[in-house]
Amino acid sequence: MILINNHKREININSIDSKNDNGININDDLLFSYYYDQLKDKTISFLVNIKPVNIRNYEIDEIDEVRFEKIELKKVFKLLIDEKLKSHIKQKIRRYSFQQIWPNHIRAAISYLRDKDTRDKGSWKFDFGVQDLTDYFNDFSKFEEILFGIDEYHRDHTIHVFRVYLLGLYIIDKIYPGDFKDIKIGNKEKEELKIEKGEKEAIWCIIALCHDLGYPLEKIERLNEEVLKIVKYFGSSNFRRIQYSLPIQGIILDEHILNFISSKLNKKDISEDIQNDKNNISKVNAYNLTIQNKYKNKYSNAYEKFEHGIISCILLMKNLVYFKESDYKLSYNEYIQSEDARQFLIRREILRSIASHECNDIYHIYTNNFSFLLIICDEIQEWGRPIGKNRIYHNGRDIKIKVKKYTKKLIDIHISTDFDKDTLKKYSIPKFKKFIKILRSAVHSERRPFDFKLTITNESIKYIFKYNSPDNEEDYGSPIVEKYDGKVRDDDFNIESIIEYFRKRKRIQ
């Protein structure tokens, strides 16, 4: 078992090219060991009373035993870090057990958040909708076998979402110079709307485990294209493309969801109201909601393109009663009280983080929020990932992730691969494009206080993306991209060449 240091690493913020800190290699053994320790020590509040799970499977010899019918969550992860267990057995246990413990985590997180809601006074809090979502998750896991054939870089999302969840926990707890208390729910989280550490742990769990639920819908058109390539060899055919449009009767609810995640909470000045009604002192902490049109426009565009982030939000809002019961009054003249406002922030943070992770029209200013954390964890979760052409699992020997720094001021990440030069290019450029867009110059981008560096390499070629925070309000330089073959820099590789690369691909498609 890998031993995890119980103390935070001391972080020194040096230059973005510092070589003094080798960083931390991220892999399953590290994360599973860390999570086992957290479960054993009961440090994750919403999981303290989580029920045992049934991971027995009659079709998998290795876990076809009575002892797996009721097993504590911590023992599942103890199995996954057992050095005596062969790797192929661990793979089977890992995928199946993650399917089984997924709903337990969602239930525990929702139950904890409801317990902390002072308006929800009942002692019996049934998790309405989780079973429907679990059935969908299981069907998604089966459908995913098809997706491996149409997407060269498709990930097994059953395992991927747990890796993202554990990676986020580990970064905040062991690397980030702070903890969940420093993660802000909205950039102006007020003291009277304080969201405690345990609630933020539960929020992150729902965000991470549900962020890719809408993925199948996004891939329907790609599935059509691949089927059409095959049927054309049989001559003309009456092949009917799989088509899906969101039902017209659901448009009103979808519009509500877009408004909800696009809304901003404002503290309302009601001093005049208090003077007129001195008996209603509780109105002091009152808030109203207004739609941020730039968010509404961007999320609406993502909705039209079936981007899986926004589709995941729709699935959550339509299936989980926890989200259906969100209080939402969109009126300048109506206000909500502190606890209503706090609960709105929690639910909006979950949905907005999920919606934003695939919507590159949303740009980012700060690192200490769940939205940006999800993007980073989602982008760098590459180890143990099967590549579609040959379904080889990169189990940590072929793709290595190293987090060199993760602070409010500097993020420095290194991804090393065994890809050939063409695959490395196809793999690196989309990631660079994403960060070019979300770290672009925009309103208030001069306030962006951090530097960011992403390095992607094979044995001889190195791609580097750098973003440096501006020294002053007037000084905003574009991000820097570099390519090296050995020590020789490719001067033709720059921002413009990346833009042209995607223009050509679009014309070909």
Q: What is the pLDDT of residues 372-388, one digit of tens each?
A: 999 999 999 988 766 54
C-alpha 4/C-alpha 8 separation (Å) is 10
Residues of the chain where predicted confidence (pLDDT) is lower than 50:
1-20, 154, 281-282, 388-397, 507-509
Label residues 305-337 b or e (16+ Cβ within 10 Å = b): ebbbbbbbbbbbbbbbebbeebeeeeeeeebbe
pTM for the whole structure: 0.86
pLDDT at position 391:
45
Tell me the pairing of strands 451-457 and 410-416: parallel
pLDDT at position 330:
75
pLDDT at position 16:
38
C-alpha 411/C-alpha 402 separation (Å) is 11
C-alpha 118/C-alpha 110 separation (Å) is 14
The DSSP result for 106-160, as a single string, is HHHHHHHHHHT-TT---S----TTHHHHHHHHHHHHHHHHHHTTT-TT---HHHH
Contact 22, 400 (CB under 8 A): no
pLDDT tens figures, 138-188: 887 777 766 655 555 545 678 999 999 999 999 999 998 777 888 988 755
H-state helical runs in 6-129: 28-41, 73-80, 87-115
Residue 15 φ then ψ, to 5°:
-70, 165
pLDDT at position 442:
87
Q: Give the type of residue at 504.
A: K
